[in-house]
Structure 1
């Protein structure tokens, strides 16, 4: 479960990690009032479960309450990577002397938590050279000892006996405590700002293990799925919205991923990931098609290798949707496996010739999408 920035910062504060003065608001007037209380200048930050907000225009600076009101009004009208902005965080604008990076996650191969740190934080952390990245695995029985945190701070080039070094050791220790006690999969501060003698978490990213939520009853619940993704989940389908224009349906996670990769190989972009799963019947397949159509794709590719999923069920669902609600875009279908002859006969009556090979079908879909 991903948490909004303001929620993550509330957790940071509980574990002794310094955060900027700030307030979460839900309308432009509240934003202006928050600016008066905090004192200008401030930063006005959209709250969405997405990265790259700054590059998308989701973070703005303002010097007066009226400017804050105008900035908030603009942000509340935005959609960032398909996510509407419904909350905004108004914070004090920090004097930034240096930006650091700090995170804790689980290294699955080592089966240990790993602390990742860098003296080069900020918007383009992914592009920082490996030589500037510090990785320190943590023995879960030993925990985050002060000497481990001190060694990481030293490697970051920050004096251990100075106020910044001492504060950073406390932050690393508090971050690990939060990571363990809240069953987190990821806690990240980027940037972690040095502002004079202060070290402050200017941003937060916290993801909690879904399987541990039963013992985290004090945490707010955040719905990460879009309306379409939630509808698919309720139907028992695996559906994720993407930013392309070719609708995708396949029967199995592996074949669906293979379909997305092949679309990209031929120069196309997928509008969604939809794994209809094994054994999805005619009604479920029809609902899946309706979900794909809700994304307004330029073309649709259906990639079925029938085992438990019967090809004739898929074909009947397609014919039903085409007859009852219409399919206004080109559809390319690869249909092989259980009851494929019966399925292909149904498709032929609906005016569709099925393909034998995935590559041929996908290449045609990319061409039709233009």
Structure 2
């Protein structure tokens, strides 16, 4: 589950991680009130207006049809109100959203932390994620923080450092000091960085994150270390331990079909193909998608109905797949281990009858428990549903359907 910047910052603050303070606003009036609060706290006329969407590249992205950036600095109440008005309700197009962009429903009015002072300011990059190959969390960091970190990684990979953390020991003090040293920090800034990295890692573990990125991690002119931005992704499987965090989920930022699939406990991911897939088991789903590609088609989705497929889940899967206008055929590939194939077949027949007006080929491949009975049910149903036992048979039927 992804979170907005303002939500992620509030969570890491609870672990003692200093952040660029700000207020989320849904209207221009709220943005004006946020600006007044910030000005009273900092005595600084500048404030940063940040579009809140689940995508990166906001600083370079633009509101569709305008020159308004997704992140901009206002130097007065009037400028902040104008920028907020330009962003709110608009569609922000970034390198990560694609041409469709994402609608902006909230902006974050944040403190300007780039003010001059006794020491130079500096931007760094730091993220924590799981290295699946090593089975350890890894802290990736660089002295070259900011909007162009992808370019840094591509052109100068030597500037990207990595620090692996063994799960049994956690982040050790010398590792946090090593990171601060590689940032080139000294004195008070060094001490603050060590504390920042330690607390941030504790937040990563405590919140069950799968990814936590701070870009930029900022050294202020008075040697404070703060998170100017925060991108957080949470492990969905651990949300049962964090009902308060699960309540922060913004459904407006997610694909509507994926949200609907979640209501039926279906694992669904939309893709850009022409063959809808309904499979039980992630491994079988991946093999089915490969088979579709080899047959000349392209999978339109990943849909795993799990090991307890029944008439209700099958019908829900049908409804979700049929919402995609690019789908030219639907392939149902079920291996009956726990689930009985004849029950799935009955569910397919019921769903077909309930939905009606299905004018694309439907191919059903059932193998395992009661597969023969299932094939007989489908063949005798009188519906335009093609059945197969072998995967090769299903592949041939898919090939004909998309030819």
1:61 to 72, 95, 98: 72
- Aligned position for 1:342: 376
- Aligned position for 1:167: 192
Q: Is the 8 A contact 1:29 1:69 kept in 2?
A: no
Query: 1:23 Cα shift?
Result: 0.8
- Aligned position for 2:204: 179
What is the rounded CA distance, in whole Å, between the counterparts of 1:243 and 1:90 in structure 2?
A: 36
Does residue 1:73 correspond to 2:97, yes or no? no
1:46 to 49, 52, 59: 52
- Aligned position for 1:87: 106
What is the rounded CA distance, in whole Å, between the counterparts of 1:30 and 1:111 in structure 2?
A: 45
SS of equivalent residue, structure 2 residue 285: helix
Q: Which moved more, 1:225-234 or 1:269-278?
A: 225-234
Query: 1:265 Cα shift?
Result: 6.2
- Aligned position for 1:144: 171
Query: 1:189 Cα shift?
Result: 0.9
- Aligned position for 1:102: 126
Query: 1:216 Cα shift?
Result: 4.9
Query: 1:289 Cα shift?
Result: 0.5
2:384 to 322, 341, 351: 351
Q: Which moved more, 1:54-63 or 1:336-345?
A: 54-63
What is the rounded CA distance, in whole Å, between the counterparts of 1:274 and 1:287 in structure 2?
A: 11
1:325 to 345, 348, 355: 355
Q: Which moved more, 1:289-298 or 1:203-212?
A: 203-212
Q: Is the 8 A contact 1:43 1:92 kept in 2?
A: no
Structure 2, unpaired ranges of 5+: 39-44, 64-69, 116-120
What is the rounded CA distance, in whole Å, between the counterparts of 1:77 and 1:258 in structure 2?
A: 34
Q: Is the 8 A contact 1:259 1:362 kept in 2?
A: no
Q: Is the 8 A contact 2:291 2:395 kept in 1?
A: yes
SS of equivalent residue, structure 1 residue 151: helix
- Aligned position for 1:203: 229
User: Using a 3 Å threshold, how does the CA distance of structure 1 residues 222 and 316 change in structure 2: closer, same or farther?
Assistant: same
Does residue 1:280 correspond to 2:309, yes or no? yes
1:251-270 correspondence runs (5 A): 251-263=280-292, 270=299
What value does the CA root-mean-square deviation take over the aligned residues? Answer: 3.9
Query: 1:95 Cα shift?
Result: 4.1
Q: Is the 8 A contact 2:336 2:366 kept in 1?
A: no
- Aligned position for 1:13: 13
Q: Is the 8 A contact 1:42 1:90 kept in 2?
A: yes
Does residue 1:222 correspond to 2:255, yes or no? no
Does residue 1:114 correspond to 2:138, yes or no? yes
Query: 1:165 Cα shift?
Result: 3.8
Q: Is the 8 A contact 2:16 2:199 kept in 1?
A: yes
What is the rounded CA distance, in whole Å, between the counterparts of 1:201 and 1:274 in structure 2?
A: 37
Query: 1:280 Cα shift?
Result: 1.9
User: How many residues are aligned here?
Assistant: 363
Query: 1:82 Cα shift?
Result: 8.9
- Render the CA deviation track for 1:200-222: whole Å, top value 9, x for unaligned: 32221234455655665765633
Query: 1:175 Cα shift?
Result: 0.9
SS of equivalent residue, structure 1 residue 330: coil
SS of equivalent residue, structure 2 residue 90: helix
SS of equivalent residue, structure 1 residue 73: coil
SS of equivalent residue, structure 1 residue 120: coil
SS of equivalent residue, structure 2 residue 318: helix
- Render the CA deviation track for 1:128-153: whole Å, top value 9, x for unaligned: 15433322123456543443222123
User: Using a 3 Å threshold, how does the CA distance of structure 1 residues 35 and 114 change in structure 2: closer, same or farther?
Assistant: same
Does residue 1:29 correspond to 2:29, yes or no? yes
TM-score, length basis structure 2:
0.72
